[in-house]
Amino acid sequence: MRRLRNVKIVATLGPASSDYEMIRALFEAGADVFRLNMSHGTHDDIRSRHQIIRQVESDTGRPIAILADLQGPKLRVGTFAAGAHDLEDGDKFRLDLSDAPGDSDRVQLPHPEIFAALEPGSTLLVNDGKIRLQVDDCGPDFANCTVTVGGTISNRKGVNVPDVVLPLAALSEKDLKDLEFACELGVDWLALSFVQRPEDVIQAKDLAKGRAAVLSKIEKPAAVKAYEAILAVSDGIMVARGDLGVELPVYSVPPIQKRLVRMARAAAKPVIVATQMLESMIESPMPTRAEVSDVATAIYEGADAVMLSAESAAGKFPIEAVTTMNNVAVSVESDPTYRQVIEASRNVKRSTVADGIVAAAREIAEATDIKAIAVFSQSGTTVGLVARERPKVPIIALTPLMNTARRLCLTWGAHCVITEEQDRFKGAVISAVRAARQHGFATETDQIVLTAGVPFNVQGTTNILRVAPCDERLIYKADPE
């Protein structure tokens, strides 16, 4: 199935999308990647959905990527004797380690690591930022606060600490078990929550041992500050705007999104824009105009993928949500302004042979009547370099490795094709032109550009660029041996 767009769609699975018929319908509507949220459902639920996705992949003959999203440490207050209390602006309120039920003056915060990091003047956000507390004084087991924005506080509401780096690992005990389970299951991507520093990503990659690529969720102010270092050690990025919009002023999120997307693209690493993209479609078959504009903005920015969360996992209209996102993407990418924006934002520092070859491939394709750029790749790195160029023509990603093909389903413009291993360049050319014809990118009278590396089947050897006719007879005539 050939997609008519380059940006990829990530759809989260959940109660509304857990059987074969629905998951296949979501794929046919446009989903390229399925997200399994490890915060919800048992390992048996996750295993069942994984098996169904792989069955859809087998039945449709198209690689599909699976992303397991780790929960990360969850910081929550304790419980209240009365269940809930109203806090008014200016009230004094205490957080401590005592497990006694909370009241209108205090409640347990069972996280000594938070108290260790707090300072007078620090801000604490409760219940997605609806309540704001400012720390007046604190110690190793308490924080006395003033309520700066009041509201109703109730049992086990979440707590955010936006202005300090917490001495917490990104991987909780649950995450460690979930990571190993997901890698053994055979997911393609791991999304790492609560990233604050590059060491968090390095730990996850060490545990994954290459079984899955690691994608860092940028959802904390500390991660925004350390973004360049985090990006350098990550395989991909998710701009997780939900928590970013809680811990930072909401008006700062759009420029941050633009900067994160642009830097990830410059690094040739896939970047997903996520959270509340079509939120109203949880309950409505039609999105708001603002939501459509939000999706379009992410596509104009050059994001590799846009993501649906509750819209496809628990909403009433999961297929309509994917279809809407697909239609928005097709509409944006057919707009002449889209090409102008994408080309104006191309910011590539080229320093390797591979950088030069993929840039030349794009320029040749755009200057002549070339129908596609075919890329032979073992690891997928060169496909990422071609995608960074955002060429006007399709990218055919050819690899003998199913794991590579699946991971590339997250990369902008990559149409992934499993091919036989090649040991001679001529065989690679023949394989590329056959894939171009078979998948509807070209006819016998057309030409494609091919990049590859010799020796074959060795990572990091991209060193050849060839313009090839799609008529195999012309290839044999030019190279009869």
Instruction: State yes or no: pLDDT of 453 exceeds 90.
Output: no
The conformation of residue 479, written as its DSSP 8-state character, comes to S
Query: How does DSSP assign 321-374, residue by residue?
Result: HHHHHHHHHHHHHTSHHHHHHHHHT------SHHHHHHHHHHHHHHHTTEEEEE
For the chain, the residue count is 481
**pLDDT for residue 98 is more than 90:** yes
DSSP state of 109: -
- Location of structure tokens 């767009």: 5
Lowest mean pLDDT among 217-221, 349-353, 359-363: 349-353
For the chain, percent of residues with pLDDT exceeding 70: 99
Of 152-156, 233-237, 434-438, 463-467, least confident by mean pLDDT is 463-467
Q: Is 265 a catalytic residue?
A: no
- The 10s digit of each residue's pLDDT in 235-258 is 999 999 988 999 999 999 999 999
The predicted pLDDT at position 348 comes to 79
Per-residue pLDDT at 102 exceeds 90:
yes
Q: Which residue has the tokens 């998951």?
A: 23
217 is known as an active-site residue:
yes
Q: Give just the sign of the alpha carbon dihedral 313, 317, 322, 324.
A: negative
Instruction: Indicate if the pLDDT at residue 88 is higher than 80.
Output: yes
Residue 481 pLDDT: 58
The predicted model gives 77-91 an average pLDDT of 96
Mean pLDDT, to the nearest integer, of 326-347? Answer: 94
Map residue 269 onto helix, strand or coil: coil
Q: Is 316 strand, coil or helix?
A: coil
Identify whether 177 is a catalytic site residue.
no
Q: How far is CA 91 from CA 115, 136, 157, in A?
A: 20, 12, 19
d(CA 237, CA 456): 30
Least confident of 2-6, 348-352, 463-467: 348-352
What are 135-169's pLDDT values in tens digits?
999 999 999 999 999 999 999 999 999 988 999 99
Active-site residue (options: 12, 275, 404, 411) = 275
Q: Which of 5, 35, 157, 362 is catalytic?
A: 35
pLDDT range class, residue 61, cuts 50, 70, 90: very high
Instruction: Give the mean pLDDT of the chain.
Output: 95
Q: Does residue 241 carry a catalytic annotation?
A: no
Nearest to 410 by CA among 237, 199, 233: 237
The catalytic residue among 5, 62, 217, 371 is 217
The share of the chain scoring above pLDDT 90, in percent, equals 87
What DSSP line would sit under 51-91, residue for residue?
HHHHHHHHHHT---EEEEE------B---BTTSEEEE-TT-
| Dihedral sign for Cα atoms in the order 412, 413, 416, 422 | negative
**Ordered alpha helix ranges (H), 389-424:** 402-407
Catalytic residue among 76, 339, 426, 466: 76
Pure H helices in 118-252 = 173-185, 198-208, 221-225, 227-233, 241-247
